[in-house]
Structure 1
Amino acid sequence: MNDSLPLLLRAARGESVERPPVWMMRQAGRYMKVYRDLRDRHPGFRERSENPDLSYEISMQPFNAFKPDGVILFSDILTPLPGMGINFDIVESKGPIIQNPIKSTQQLKELRTLTPQESMPFVGEVLGRLKESVGNQAAVLGFVGAPWTLAAYVVEGKSSKNYAVIKAMAFQEPELLHQLLNHFAESIAIYLRYQIDSGAQVVQMFDSWAGQLSPIDYDTFAAPYQQKVIELVKETHPNTPIILYISGSAGVLERMANTGVDIISLDWTVDMKEGCARLPQNVGIQGNVDPGLLFGTPKAIRARIVDTVMKAKGRRHILNLGHGILPGTPEENAKVFFEAGKNVNELIKSIS
């Protein structure tokens, strides 16, 4: 056991820790006034995420306010796309727009191999600065989008409610889709290695849209490419913990565990006790407090955190929300969440 390393890194590696570490998905963002003020001055999302000074400042905002155990790079899962030749924009209130959605083999042939140090040097710079700033007070987290979710964006061209366009490709032109997924798997592995080399100590892969797949299609179009990313990264960085998150993952939890991932992030639709029972003991658990709970009372927030931590007892556990923190969440309730997480041992003792 190395107490000089950040708590979250030790927990993610499966070491014995004094309490579960705590951070929040989307902890840098719209619920914080300091972020909204910065956004008013810099309205373009890509400017905020690709200007290293702005990305660093935004990444540090929740750390400065709440001292979570993890500081995550402020970026987007689509950030690597331009380095492959796919341009995009993120429009406030509309979400991502892909300028030339991929529909053909010819477009696929024109995709470039990702070289992140050339196309995204700002990511490496920000991660290095975060590591230097937080030292061992928090782990630095990197993240990527998984191949299926990236493919869904670039084929659909935007966010979708029914995923009809990519599912049409899956069932009409599966070979084309598999080639695209493979390209993304190789590129995402390169990108994760770059993040780790730049300072990320734990990394999370978001397959946000894989929960929209039936289990048989998850086995065909999502899991093999998640697994390929994990295997490629583990070849060069075997000691860096990888977290996998899928929104709406209740139907594929056991399948997620078969990808070789270190930690599965549960959404809030699965009871923590049941989630633990369904996953092998060697797989860690992250989550899974309902983000909507943070609109409740401090008492309710504390009680749910105690419940979650008690149900995960005996497991490698990182306390988190079951999805990203919601816009409009009162900042004082985010503070309650972090403070309750850090003092969870005392809270448990007080009720036992």
Structure 2
Amino acid sequence: MSVAHLFLKACFRQPTPRRPVWMMRQAGRYLPEYLATRKRAGDFLTLCKTPEMACEVTLQPIDILGVDAAILFSDILVVPEAMGMELAFETGEGPKFAAPIRSRADIDKLADPDPEVELRYVMDAIRLIRKELNGRAPLIGFTGAPWTLATYMVEGGGSKNFALIKKMAYADPQAMHRLLERVTDAVVRYLSAQVAAGAQALQIFDTWGGILSKADFLEFSLPYIARIVQGVPRVTPQGERVPVIVFVKGGGQWLEAIAGTGCDVMGLDWTVDLAEAHALVGDRVALQGNLDPCALYAPVDVIARRTRAMKAAFGSGPGHIVNLGHGILPDIPVAHARAFVQAAQEQG
């Protein structure tokens, strides 16, 4: 069985000879090769917007670690940027929007981007990556979930307490829903274009869904994720099925609700008991995860042991994609990442 089929079969809970593995943020700063390409680019957004460089860093984990899937190198915030928001990545500070959304008038000023125009560099990167992969591994496209994208758009960047976005949600829920609708529409078009360009699977990252209460998650996040899951193409132009993965960081208490979106795979963070999740929703969705990224600071023998224990917690049967519970951290030694991948790829 080819590696490409291994990952995709696992997404659909079909039997595989071993479990596939990849890592969130696998094309990243822990790799010296990535840092060299990033230095050539000059800045992060140039790296994202230069298809040849985005292709280069997307392929690095395939070539260096032998992971079983590639994930497009880009950033979730290219969508709000394409909607007309000025984006910059400040050194040591992360992303910043020059003029955050604070009113209904700001929402009304947002553009409805054409992904083959404003985001053409992403589609060009996907086409180039598929050509260079040449079937060695499948390519995962991705987006941020509408709630997570909206947090950055309203807060203007990262946040400790998310007071501004929650203020909008509580004080003017109509405006909040209007913003989420606009973002959802843009995301559906964006992911549809990714599939047309060659993405073979899609992941929706709801990094900040877990900051909400259950009632607020069910109002402001989950319905918009469900609209994306139901609105994107589930078949490639060549007739192959496209699995959709939903990852909600901090969403372990809402597993059944997330499974109800119609996604094929649920990504789990490290706080979720994998055995309990498998028992609860494993008959409906494949599960992806969920080693604590900080476990990769351990000695390599401990990493291997913890990875095997995670696999044992899932148990037998198909439908487990080995991954971390969030992105790999920048100062993890490459040898430690390799130990994780190798233990994941062992039989059993």
Task: Give the unaligned 5+ runs of structure 2.
Answer: none
Counterpart of 1:9 in structure 2: which amino acid? L
Q: CA deviation at 1:234?
A: 4.5
159-168 or 90-99, larger mean C-alpha shift: 90-99
CA contact (8 A) 1:281 1:315 kept: no
Q: Structure 1 residues 81, 212: closer, same or farther in 2, change over 3 A?
A: same
CA distance in 1 between partners of 2:270 and 2:3 (Å)? 32
CA distance in 2 between partners of 1:119 and 1:269 (Å)? 37
CA distance in 1 between partners of 2:219 and 2:297 (Å)? 38
126-135 or 186-195, larger mean C-alpha shift: 126-135
Which residue matches 2:336? Answer: 333
CA contact (8 A) 2:259 2:266 kept: yes
**Residue aligned with 1:118, SS:** coil
**Residue aligned with 1:289, SS:** coil
CA distance in 2 between partners of 1:308 and 1:4 (Å)? 21
Counterpart of 2:191 in structure 1: which amino acid? L
Q: CA deviation at 1:253?
A: 2.0
TM-score, L = length of structure 1: 0.94
Aligned with residue 244 of structure 2, among 242, 265, 282: 242
Q: Does 1:319 align with 2:322?
A: yes
Q: CA deviation at 1:235?
A: 6.9
Which residue matches 1:171? Answer: 170
Q: CA deviation at 1:66?
A: 1.2
1:124-143 alignment to 2 at 5 Å? Answer: 124-143=123-142
1:191-221 alpha-carbon deviations (Å, 9 max, x no partner): 1111111111011000100010000000000
Counterpart of 1:110 in structure 2: which amino acid? K
**Residue aligned with 2:100, SS:** coil
Counterpart of 2:269 in structure 1: which amino acid? D
CA distance in 2 between partners of 1:169 and 1:31 (Å)? 37
CA distance in 1 between partners of 2:212 and 2:318 (Å)? 28
**Residue aligned with 2:253, SS:** helix
Q: Does 1:255 align with 2:257?
A: yes
Counterpart of 1:255 in structure 2: which amino acid? A
**Residue aligned with 1:204, SS:** strand
234-243 or 124-133, larger mean C-alpha shift: 234-243
Q: Does 1:34 align with 2:9?
A: no
Q: Structure 1 residues 48, 86: closer, same or farther in 2, change over 3 A?
A: same
Q: CA deviation at 1:81?
A: 1.8
115-124 or 271-280, larger mean C-alpha shift: 271-280
1:288-344 alpha-carbon deviations (Å, 9 max, x no partner): 0111111112211111221122222224111000110011100011111112222x2
Q: CA deviation at 1:126?
A: 1.2
154-163 or 99-108, larger mean C-alpha shift: 99-108
251-260 or 222-231, larger mean C-alpha shift: 251-260
RMSD across aligned positions (CA): 1.7
Q: CA deviation at 1:14?
A: 2.5
**Residue aligned with 1:162, SS:** coil
1:65-84 alignment to 2 at 5 Å? Answer: 65-84=64-83
Which residue matches 2:266? Answer: 264
CA distance in 2 between partners of 1:315 and 1:216 (Å)? 33
CA distance in 2 between partners of 1:127 and 1:235 (Å)? 17
CA contact (8 A) 1:268 1:323 kept: yes
Which residue matches 1:160? Answer: 159
Q: CA deviation at 1:4?
A: 8.5
TM-score, L = length of structure 2: 0.95
Aligned with residue 276 of structure 1, among 268, 275, 278: 278
Q: Does 1:104 align with 2:103?
A: yes
Task: Give the unaligned 5+ runs of structure 1.
Answer: none
Name the % identity.
37
1:163-193 alpha-carbon deviations (Å, 9 max, x no partner): 1000000000000010010111111011111
Which residue matches 2:8? Answer: 9
- Number of residue pairs matched by the alignment: 344
Counterpart of 1:247 in structure 2: which amino acid? K
CA contact (8 A) 1:6 1:69 kept: no
CA distance in 1 between partners of 2:234 and 2:44 (Å)? 34
CA distance in 2 between partners of 1:3 and 1:330 (Å)? 28
CA distance in 1 between partners of 2:175 and 2:41 (Å)? 38
Which residue matches 1:230? Answer: 229
